[in-house]
Structure 1
Amino acid sequence: MKMSNTAYMTRPCDQWVLCSWFAKLSAVVLIACCAATAEVRSEDAPADKETDPTILANIEKFRDWKLGLFIHWGPCTQWDAPIAWPLTPVATWARADDLPAWVERGKNFDVFSRDFFDLNKTFNPVQFNPDVWAEAAADAGMKYVMFVTKCHDGFALFDTKQSNYSITDPSCPFHENPRANVAKEVLDAFRKRGVRAGMYFSMPDWHHPDYEDPALPYKRLFTPNYDINEHPDKWQRYLKFYRGQVEELMTGYGPVDVLWLDGGGGSGWETDKLAEMARRHQPGILIVHRGAGGRYENYRTPEQTIPPHALPFPWETCMTMGDLWAYSSRDYYKTTRELVHMLVDVVAKGGNMLLNIGPDAEGRFPPQALERLKELGEWTKVNGEAIYGTRAVPPYREGRVCLTRKGDAVYLIYLAVPGEIKPPHVISVSGIQPAEGAEVTLLGREDVPLQWEKQGNGVTVRIPHKLSSPVAGEYPECRHAWAVKISKAIVHGEAKH
């Protein structure tokens, strides 16, 4: 990881992490998803920038998608535990006193770790039905899925021949189920509904002895528990193993649009070799070695946060629908209004939003998550024109109004304040004005032209009473935010686009 090129770092997990290898700080707050990310950093060296026209074109297609689904799942859901991080000695937050499995084992880390790794032997999600997941996501307006094929704990949710620690191995009771090759079932189901396929893969594997040497003290972080320069043979064996698993994913699971490589801290990962192999099997695939920078991090991935301003490179915020990455029966789920507002804020700043849901131990999406997806879909069906395929336009946001652009059109998306369930009578912004002959309408009610007037270099749009004061229950799908379309707009202060 190119720490010298990093202005600030983010890592997706249930908490923030300040690992000893990262900052040598005594305070440790770990994040429990499966990811490592370097975000806003100085410009990568020009020689290391992506130049392949196919990859660059695919990055632009990715930027059109705007909304995706992240899925973290695994045996840990049987314990209501965070994913992977309870195995890390310094991650005391992941073994809290309200975690029954930790208390029941007398808070003995060795016993707890042994039993955590053995959860594969009882993992039997008989209610798993990827068609339900895919249908709900597609109806919500999600254009791509990022499925966690393997997290840091090393348990593979695909049919790997490189390891027996997988859902298709006889040690796992679900191996006899016709849908046991979960990753394939998930991606096939989503593709059938026109949703693009992405794979998350953890570069570290805390279950593999050539990454986490069992003869040495536990570490279980984003670098091995040994010095790779002192043990090059062991490290090369591990690289062969992890590339072998990625090659399985690249060859037996249909077309893949994005390969998300997480947790690869430090140097020595030989990502160039992995990328060559992956693109030989999947031409044009986007590769995101999080935190690496340059040509093998095709877009950046801040997580559990939305940048305060537009960023000068392709990016995607990964955000949990609840508070945690893996399922917990005690999780809190963000409201639909919060989700809509976050999506609009991200898109107005030029990013994508990857929204995470964790299925439960039986293989079901939580009812709260399905409800949010349904309501999110109601909003995107009316207002998706202001979201998908758009780009950022300055000033990006003014107060409650976020801006997006598609071709000559500019959209003014008003975010409702608490308690507000109907659009305001007036929406004003600076720097944007309708061009001659432009039509100004409210999405969902294009049959009613809106009156507008210039205000300096900006515009004030007036929404008539019959639209701003609807009968109770009318257009409830838009009660979180409303989008005004200016079909042909002048953007002051920037070169003509």
Structure 2
Amino acid sequence: MRSFYKNVLAVALSLTTTFAFSQAHNVSSGYQKPTDPQVVENLEQWQDLKFGLFMHWGTYSQWGIVESWSLCPEDEGWTQRKLEHGATYYDYVKNYESLQQSFNPTDFNPEKWANAAKAAGMKYVVFTTKHHDGFAMFDTKESDYKITSSKSPFSTNPKADVTKAIFNSFRQDGFKIGAYFSKPDWHTEYYWWPYFPPKDRNVNYDPEKYPERWGKYKQFTFNQINELTSNYGKVDILWLDGGWVRPFKTIDQSVEWQRTIKVEQDIDMDRIGTMARKNQPGIIVVDRTVPGNWENYVTPEQAIPEHPLDIPWESCITMGDSFSYIPNDAYKPTKKIVETLVKIIARGGNYLLNIAPGPNGDFDQAAYDRLQEMSKWIDVNGTAVYSTRAAAPYHDGSFYYTQSKDGKVLNVFHLSDGEVYAAPEQFDFIVPDNFSPKELRFLGYKGKVKWSKKGNRVTVQKPKLAVDYAATIQLISK
């Protein structure tokens, strides 16, 4: 995951073509629908949830920098290093890895996060158990580069295994649990072998030339994922990042970043996925950008598809400008967050909203403020959000549509330009030709609403009601 995305444009997607995303992420083609009944059921439940919390958190929060990417020796905007943290690359890496010795987030309180997220209408959580830098936010036995190591001052805290504490707290509040895990690990000698300097984000040796070393990396990765899916209670989603670790035959040469992959990096996802399913029957596996059996849903990043997709998908988008914590981040206004949710669910997707905890172990107050404001809107409009699916005409002017899964309820959201929501004197919109409403509700308004239908157009008079962020009209069919 990369940070500091600004002015990101929505990118159109299709099911037959692979499109590049800003900052070089893409959605792979050739989606394969799962056949395991438990996975199918879990995926259906996940699609009902619509709104989730993403959290990128690690030692990098102490410097207020992009997560992991400054370790990558590529000349890209998101990989740039600050000289104050090391005059040479190797000085920088040494100082970065020494952050383990000062990482002490004593304000860590996952119950506070879970309560705020639940109030805001979030239904699942995905937490970064390990990012590309290799620092484990869980008690792995495969490495000492972890928050529970005696090298980390937080290791004496009763909640030192922050992954376990987060999963337990959110699970108690009814959330589905997702474990983000990076397939590449830039700390272990089995991926970036110290014999060679790292060249880019990829493995720095040829796995086919050194199969024994690559075999150790495959086992290292297998063991860590086995730990996460064995020792941390019910886990519903295994969210795998770092799509350059993939079979060479799956590379899409039309995607720029995939063309940088020069060697075979097959990590044996069949073995990993089978183990994860044995440990956690029905677990959703998200092997990002790698088409096949283990990409159970696709994940556009910092972008919203322009058109509905008829496969499971999720947009991961930051509340601020960055996936990782930066001081004084520019948090999106609540109106923008609501509008993003509406646009995503109208096109059939889920919204995974990222909030980055700081080095003290807490969110900025601005993030809590957004969640609290969001809770007021979701309390009124939630019935039009959850357990819905995309509905034609999906999007028409300022109106966006969802429907209940049985097709009997049509939800019509109205958005407006500007910093403050402005409702028209009357709402005039189309409905599907075969949809005959017998009842109409204006969510949040308890009185009778004046409305009429002529052909496939419905006209609704604005009730005397103050609306925050977006209005929702609910039509019930005959």
Mark yes or no: TM-score above 0.5: yes
- C-alpha separation in 2, matches of 1:121 and 1:59: 40
For residue 218 of structure 2, the aligned residue among 236, 239, 251 is 239
For the residue of structure 2 that corresponds to 1:394, the secondary structure is strand
User: Given the alignment of the two structures, is residue 485 of structure 1 paired with residue 439 of structure 2, yes or no?
Assistant: no
- C-alpha separation in 2, matches of 1:392 and 1:260: 24
**Equivalent position of 1:283 in the other structure:** 281
For the residue of structure 2 that corresponds to 1:382, the secondary structure is helix
- C-alpha separation in 2, matches of 1:191 and 1:433: 43
- C-alpha separation in 1, matches of 2:450 and 2:157: 60
For the residue of structure 2 that corresponds to 1:487, the secondary structure is strand
For the residue of structure 2 that corresponds to 1:459, the secondary structure is strand
**Equivalent position of 1:338 in the other structure:** 336
For residue 67 of structure 2, the aligned residue among 83, 93, 100 is 83
- C-alpha separation in 1, matches of 2:420 and 2:376: 18
- C-alpha separation in 1, matches of 2:83 and 2:112: 35
Q: Measure how far apart 1:421 and its partner are.
A: 4.0
Letter in 2 for 1:58: N
Contact 1:124 1:172 in 2 (8 A): yes
User: Given the alignment of the two structures, is residue 403 of structure 1 paired with residue 401 of structure 2, yes or no?
Assistant: yes
Contact 1:432 1:459 in 2 (8 A): no
Q: Measure how far apart 1:38 and its partner are.
A: 4.0
- C-alpha separation in 2, matches of 1:435 and 1:74: 50
Letter in 2 for 1:276: T
Tell me the matched-pair count.
444
Could you report, residue by residue, the CA deviation over 1:376-426 in whole angstroms, capped at 9, with x for unpaired residues? Answer: 111111101111110000110111111010130001100132154453221
User: Given the alignment of the two structures, is residue 195 of structure 1 paired with residue 175 of structure 2, yes or no?
Assistant: yes
- C-alpha separation in 2, matches of 1:146 and 1:279: 18
Q: Measure how far apart 1:449 and its partner are.
A: 2.6
- C-alpha separation in 1, matches of 2:420 and 2:28: 35
Contact 2:3 2:321 in 1 (8 A): no
User: Given the alignment of the two structures, is residue 72 of structure 1 paired with residue 60 of structure 2, yes or no?
Assistant: no
**Cα distance 1:198–1:437, how it changes in 2: closer, same or farther (>3 A)?**
closer
Q: Measure how far apart 1:228 and its partner are.
A: 1.1
**Equivalent position of 2:262 in the other structure:** none
**Equivalent position of 1:430 in the other structure:** 430
**Equivalent position of 1:226 in the other structure:** 205
Equivalence map 1:130-169=2 (5 Å)? 130-169=110-149
Q: Which has the higher contact order (CA 8 A, sep 6+)?
A: 2
For the residue of structure 1 that corresponds to 2:393, the secondary structure is coil
Q: Measure how far apart 1:294 and its partner are.
A: 2.2
For the residue of structure 1 that corresponds to 2:377, the secondary structure is helix
**Equivalent position of 2:258 in the other structure:** none
- C-alpha separation in 2, matches of 1:372 and 1:123: 27
Could you report, residue by residue, the CA deviation over 1:437-487 in whole angstroms, capped at 9, with x for unpaired residues? Answer: 611011111x323222234322222223x23xxxxxxx5xx4100100001
State the identity %. Answer: 40
**Cα distance 1:154–1:437, how it changes in 2: closer, same or farther (>3 A)?**
closer
**Cα distance 1:428–1:372, how it changes in 2: closer, same or farther (>3 A)?**
same
- C-alpha separation in 2, matches of 1:204 and 1:369: 30
- C-alpha separation in 1, matches of 2:174 and 2:419: 36
Letter in 2 for 1:388: Y
User: Given the alignment of the two structures, is residue 301 of structure 1 paired with residue 299 of structure 2, yes or no?
Assistant: yes
Contact 1:82 1:326 in 2 (8 A): yes
- C-alpha separation in 2, matches of 1:142 and 1:151: 23
**Equivalent position of 1:492 in the other structure:** none
For residue 95 of structure 2, the aligned residue among 115, 119, 132 is 115
Q: Measure how far apart 1:110 and its partner are.
A: 1.5
- C-alpha separation in 2, matches of 1:109 and 1:307: 38
- C-alpha separation in 1, matches of 2:299 and 2:324: 19
Q: Measure how far apart 1:345 and its partner are.
A: 0.3
Q: Measure how far apart 1:270 and its partner are.
A: 0.7
User: Given the alignment of the two structures, is residue 448 of structure 1 paired with residue 428 of structure 2, yes or no?
Assistant: no
TM-score w.r.t. the length of structure 1 is 0.85
Q: Measure how far apart 1:144 and its partner are.
A: 0.2
- C-alpha separation in 1, matches of 2:186 and 2:123: 32
Contact 2:240 2:286 in 1 (8 A): yes
Letter in 2 for 1:479: D
- C-alpha separation in 1, matches of 2:423 and 2:380: 14
- C-alpha separation in 1, matches of 2:335 and 2:458: 26
Contact 1:264 1:290 in 2 (8 A): yes
Q: Measure how far apart 1:308 and its partner are.
A: 0.6
Q: Measure how far apart 1:215 and its partner are.
A: 1.1
**Cα distance 1:51–1:444, how it changes in 2: closer, same or farther (>3 A)?**
same
- C-alpha separation in 2, matches of 1:302 and 1:94: 18
**Equivalent position of 1:495 in the other structure:** none
**Equivalent position of 1:262 in the other structure:** 241
For residue 380 of structure 1, the aligned residue among 367, 378, 381 is 378
For the residue of structure 1 that corresponds to 2:142, the secondary structure is coil
Contact 1:138 1:193 in 2 (8 A): yes
For the residue of structure 1 that corresponds to 2:423, the secondary structure is coil
Letter in 2 for 1:487: I
For residue 125 of structure 1, the aligned residue among 95, 105, 113 is 105
**Equivalent position of 2:361 in the other structure:** 363
Q: Measure how far apart 1:58 and its partner are.
A: 1.3
Q: Measure how far apart 1:330 and its partner are.
A: 3.2
**Cα distance 1:270–1:65, how it changes in 2: closer, same or farther (>3 A)?**
same
> Gaps spanning 5+ residues in structure 1: where?
1-10, 17-28, 468-474, 490-497
Could you report, residue by residue, the CA deviation over 1:148-202 in whole angstroms, capped at 9, with x for unpaired residues? Answer: 0000000000011111000001111111111100000001011111111110000
Could you report, residue by residue, the CA deviation over 1:355-388 in whole angstroms, capped at 9, with x for unpaired residues? Answer: 0011010101111111111111111111011111
Letter in 2 for 1:218: P
TM-score w.r.t. the length of structure 2 is 0.89
Contact 2:66 2:78 in 1 (8 A): yes
Contact 1:262 1:289 in 2 (8 A): yes
- C-alpha separation in 1, matches of 2:388 and 2:436: 22
Q: Measure how far apart 1:92 and its partner are.
A: 4.5
